[in-house]
A and B are shown apart, each in its own frame.
Chain A
Amino acid sequence: AQTVTQSQPEMSVQEAETVTLSCTYDTSESDYYLFWYKQPPSRQMILVIRQEAYKQQNATENRFSVNFQKAAKSFSLKISDSQLGDAAMYFCAYKRGGSNYKLTFGKGTLLTVNP
């Protein structure tokens, strides 16, 4: 079974600084997708960034980028120039490719941004 592990229950960062959130996963599949979701106090889960396993290039969305290490099964999220609005729970998630519906989530990392 696929598992997703986030080893950092909590992280903090100073405003305008950079922070990296860790995620590892376990799978025997070759076709899959990885995601980072953000859940602010409003509770809505918002997609931050996604990575297709077949792509070697790391995904980037504005201040958010990932370091995808396929052999190591590692998928970390880097947030640059942190803003107060980045404070939230961040969840790493995995989805097998093909006709599969299920997202497997990690337990999450609570990110605090200090002014």
Chain B
Amino acid sequence: ETGVTQTPRHLVMGMTNKKSLKCEQHLGHNAMYWYKQSAKKPLELMFVYSLEERVENNSVPSRFSPECPNSSHLFLHLHTLQPEDSALYLCASSLNPGQGGIEAFFGQGTRLTVV
């Protein structure tokens, strides 16, 4: 059983829809991440939360809105997406670097298709 759980596993949405991706970690970590994995491209870091505060936002369009209500849960709210946003969205968690957090642990991802 993975320590990082993502739901849903698959999502198809229209460009006018609003949906949310959910991530939950059971590893006692205090940093959580959203990565985007597109075909033929390296994984792209989207957002980082540390102790529920956003610490990185890598020029992500505002149609993606993250939320971290506590250290175990992370959401990615989606609205008015474009077809090019279709990708695998991976959640990860780790301890903070200041606490020796070096390795990130990943979930199984949500395969998003925008039609």
> What is the interface of chain A, defined by CB distance below 8 A to chain B?
4, 33, 35, 37, 42-47, 50, 91, 95, 97-108
> What is the interface of chain B, defined by CB distance below 8 A to chain A?
2, 31, 33, 40-43, 45, 48, 50, 55-56, 88, 90, 92, 94, 96-98, 102-109, 111
Query: Is the beta-carbon distance between B43 and A91 smaller than 8 angstroms?
Result: yes
Task: Provide the residues of chain B in CB contact with A101, threshold 8 Å.
Answer: 31, 33, 48, 50, 55-56, 94, 97
**Nearest residue, chain A, Cβ from B31:** A101
Complex Cα gap A43–B102 (Å): 21
Complex Cα gap A44–B97 (Å): 22
CB distance from A107 to the nearest CB of B (A): 5
Partner of B2, one of A44, A97, A99, A103: A44
Contact status of A100 and B103, CB under 8 A, knowing A43-B108, A44-B2, A107-B40 = no
